[in-house]
Structure 1
Amino acid sequence: MSRLGNIGARLYRGEVGYDFVAKRKIWYGVSILITIVAIVGLAVRGLNMGIEFSGGAVFTTPKTTVSAAHAQEEAEKASGHDAIVQKLGNGGLRIQITDVGTEKSDQIREELAKDFKLSSQSINAELVGPSWGEQIANKAWLGLGIFMALVVVYLAIAFEWRMAVAALIALVHDLTITVGIYALVGFEVTPGTVIGLLTILGYSLYDTVVVFDGLKEASRGITKQTRWTYSEIANRSLNATLVRSINTTVVALLPVAGLLFIGGGFLGAGMLNDISLSLFVGLAAGAYSSIFIATPLVADLKERDPKMKALAKRVRAKRAAAAAKGGDALAEDEAHGAGEAAGVVGQRTQPASGDRGGRNRPSGGRR
């Protein structure tokens, strides 16, 4: 068995582990700090909404030697608006300009063809109205709301309401971080981004539900024992699935990283960037939240239950009694050890006197 497999087996059996739940205030602080940075980035920089949401025109050129910087300069000069230019894998350019109508689009295409020394027919122009983007945004919000509601209802039925609340907070945490990083990086928000955001919700829930399922089984009949508190059982369940969560996340991140850095970086595929960045950030944030946020939150909420408070009190009382008994036993062992030492000394002196008496008896016998 590999070294990682040995660690995983020892974590599962509870032989080793890290107390995530006991240090939950540290993780809460880190998450709050990251969330604040994401919200500030979102408020200051805002989201770079794609043309599908804001409306405008997209021009696609065939293979050309014109650089993206030069194309952006010419496109902004021709349109009077900001332009976004991407180099495509076939050597062509994708030029996106917002707030452009049909007549303006034809004029811009003619000027771009002249500047790039191409025929106007070789440049493909597509117009997108803002109303279509608004419909997509509304449907995305509707889908997100329905998804969240179904998640809460399912987890409340399958597990309990505290786990549903913790999972919902973890999902909001993941979405906020992902959207904030989009704002800080300046990536364009397109329908591909929306697809990626909706996709990561399922990935984010996966590890959380796995831990919750193990916790549900481990905490069955918890009030009938006095060995562990609920927080300790939650931490043991988390450690038991830790290696599995890490392996699943790494395996999922590798192909997404390939899409992001190879597909988007080298091939210049804009849609791959939109989807892969949201997936990459969302998967990482989901793995973090399932370990450091969701389970500690459940433990926090559960420990407020009067039954769990009473259990924690009994566990502490039993441990205090065991500690006191252990101290008394240690004192008895020390006293017993001292007595044995005294007996050994006595046994060593008695044979000496006996020997002397024995030597006298034979001498008396000879008399």
Structure 2
Amino acid sequence: MSKLGTLGARLHHGEVGYDFVKNRKIWYGISILITITAIVGLAVRGLHMGIEFQGGAVFTTPKHMSASVAQAETWAEDSSGHDAIVQKLGDGSLRIQISGTDTQQSDQIKDDLSQKLNVPADKINADLVGPSWGDQIANKAWQGLGIFMVLVVIYLAIAFEWRMAVAAFVALVHDITITVGVYALVGFEVTPGTVIGLLTILGYSLYDTVVVFDSLKEQTKDITKQTRWTYSEVANRSINGTLVRSINTTVVALLPVAGLLFIGGGVLGAGMLNDISLSLFVGLAAGAYSSIFIATPLVADLKEAEPQMKALKKRVLAKRAQAAAKGETADSVSGEGAYEADEPDDAAPAVVGPRNQPASRGRGRGRPSGKRR
């Protein structure tokens, strides 16, 4: 068995553990700092919306163009008076995207580009997106994202409880804010592929969160009937029990996405892969982080505010103080493994090992084995 598998088994059985919940203020501070950075980047730089959202024209040249991306970008901006995005496709053709143009301007820009690129005008393919259609697409995207968030909160509130639904919602907002902020800081174009990537990573983020929540729900069914662990400690055990699973699924998901982003978009120059691969890469990493360091510790905070959990915590601490005064070890108080309901003090000790069956009283005394005659 590999070292990671051995660690996962030990974490699952409670033999080792990392106190994520105890250090939750550190994780909250890191998340707040990253979120503020993302919001500042979004406010200062803004999002570079694609023509699908704001309207514009896309010109595609024939294959094997000799002009460089920088030259084509300069010529397109001079011809249109607007910012232009130029991408060199795998077959050597150029994709020139200019926002804020109408049909009449598009025809004029196409003629200018044909002269500067030394290409016949009929060989340049032009696609025009109207601004009203772009606004409609943007509104539909926001509506889809809003409906997704509402349905997620309703489902989690029904399947688990409202505190877990609130914690999952906070984690989702955290992931969206970081991903959008990275887009603003990097300057990548926001396209419908970006929206698809966002919805995909939100679903993945929820998967990790729900796995931890399901374990937590199972382990806290009768938590008030025992005095060995507080809710926060059981929540921490749930995180540790699913930690290696979360790491494995995240790494496996990030590897192909990293290939799309760094090799496909960076090395091979397939720029159209950047819009979806960046959202997936950042979102997957943020989702794995938030499910461990944000969602579950936040649930623990919300639950510890309940009167029942406050009373439980007092009983647990009182029992530990009493045990410490008697000189008992910490393990005998806090224990390892899944908790069980407290037994009465006069309960008989458990029998370990094989048990001897009592001899029969009325049958077969002094008689050899075999058939009865």
Secondary structure of the structure 2 residue equivalent to 1:241: helix
Q: Percent of counterpart pairs with the same letter?
A: 79
Summarize the Cα distance change of 1:327–1:269 in structure 2 as closer, same or farther, 3 Å threshold.
closer
8 Å contact kept, 1:204–1:290: yes
Q: Give 1:253 deviation, angstroms.
A: 0.5
2:198 alignment counterpart: 197
Secondary structure of the structure 2 residue equivalent to 1:255: helix
Alignment of 1:303-342 (within 5 A): 303-326=304-327
2:14 alignment counterpart: 14
Query: CA–CA distance in 2 between the matches of 1:110 and 1:267?
Result: 30
Query: CA–CA distance in 1 between the matches of 2:82 and 2:165?
Result: 46
Q: Give 1:270 deviation, angstroms.
A: 3.3
2:53 alignment counterpart: 53
Alignment of 1:56-95 (within 5 A): 56-62=56-62, 63-95=64-96
Q: Deviations over 1:153-185 (max 9, x none)?
A: 111111111000000000000000000000000
Query: CA–CA distance in 2 between the matches of 1:68 and 1:175?
Result: 32
Q: Deviations over 1:254-302 (max 9, x none)?
A: 1111111122123333331111100100000000000000000000000
Q: Give 1:211 deviation, angstroms.
A: 0.1
Unpaired stretches in structure 1, ≥5 consecutive residues: 329-367
Summarize the Cα distance change of 1:293–1:157 in structure 2 as closer, same or farther, 3 Å threshold.
same
Alignment of 1:44-193 (within 5 A): 44-62=44-62, 63-193=64-194
2:234 alignment counterpart: 233
8 Å contact kept, 1:192–1:271: no
Secondary structure of the structure 2 residue equivalent to 1:57: strand
Query: CA–CA distance in 2 between the matches of 1:222 and 1:309?
Result: 12
Q: Give 1:49 deviation, angstroms.
A: 0.7
Unpaired stretches in structure 2, ≥5 consecutive residues: 330-373
Query: CA–CA distance in 2 between the matches of 1:249 and 1:145?
Result: 25
Query: CA–CA distance in 2 between the matches of 1:139 and 1:154?
Result: 22
Summarize the Cα distance change of 1:234–1:119 in structure 2 as closer, same or farther, 3 Å threshold.
same
Secondary structure of the structure 2 residue equivalent to 1:22: coil
Q: Indicate the structure with greater helix content.
A: 1
Q: Deviations over 1:78-116 (max 9, x none)?
A: 111111111111111111111112122111111111111
Name whichever of 82-91 and 284-293 sits farther off. Answer: 82-91
Q: Give 1:50 deviation, angstroms.
A: 0.7
Query: CA–CA distance in 2 between the matches of 1:189 and 1:123?
Result: 24
Letter aligned with residue 287 of structure 2: G
1:288 alignment counterpart: 289
Secondary structure of the structure 1 residue equivalent to 2:128: strand
Query: CA–CA distance in 1 between the matches of 2:276 and 2:253?
Result: 14
Q: Deviations over 1:166-217 (max 9, x none)?
A: 0000000000000000000000011111111111110110100000000000
Secondary structure of the structure 2 residue equivalent to 1:64: coil
1:337 alignment counterpart: none
Query: CA–CA distance in 2 between the matches of 1:101 and 1:141?
Result: 25
Summarize the Cα distance change of 1:118–1:320 in structure 2 as closer, same or farther, 3 Å threshold.
same
Query: CA–CA distance in 2 between the matches of 1:260 and 1:158?
Result: 36
Query: CA–CA distance in 2 between the matches of 1:154 and 1:75?
Result: 49
8 Å contact kept, 1:88–1:267: no
Secondary structure of the structure 2 residue equivalent to 1:310: helix
Q: Deviations over 1:320-357 (max 9, x none)?
A: 000000179xxxxxxxxxxxxxxxxxxxxxxxxxxxxx
Count of residue pairs the alignment pairs up: 328
Query: CA–CA distance in 1 between the matches of 2:328 and 2:128?
Result: 82
Letter aligned with residue 284 of structure 1: A
User: Aligned-residue CA RMSD in angstroms?
Assistant: 1.1
8 Å contact kept, 1:56–1:100: yes
Query: CA–CA distance in 2 between the matches of 1:173 and 1:71?
Result: 39
Kindly indicate whether residue 264 of structure 2 is the aligned counterpart of residue 263 of structure 1.
yes
Query: CA–CA distance in 2 between the matches of 1:50 and 1:214?
Result: 42
Query: CA–CA distance in 1 between the matches of 2:155 and 2:129?
Result: 39
2:336 alignment counterpart: none
Query: CA–CA distance in 2 between the matches of 1:327 and 1:94?
Result: 74
Query: CA–CA distance in 1 between the matches of 2:155 and 2:106?
Result: 49
Letter aligned with residue 126 of structure 2: A
8 Å contact kept, 1:49–1:188: yes
Query: CA–CA distance in 2 between the matches of 1:137 and 1:76?
Result: 25
Name whichever of 16-25 and 71-80 sits farther off. Answer: 71-80
Query: CA–CA distance in 1 between the matches of 2:54 and 2:267?
Result: 28
Letter aligned with residue 41 of structure 1: G
1:363 alignment counterpart: none
Query: CA–CA distance in 1 between the matches of 2:328 and 2:70?
Result: 77
Letter aligned with residue 282 of structure 2: V
TM-score, structure 2 normalization: 0.86
1:40 alignment counterpart: 40
Secondary structure of the structure 1 residue equivalent to 2:251: helix
1:217 alignment counterpart: 218
Letter aligned with residue 3 of structure 1: K
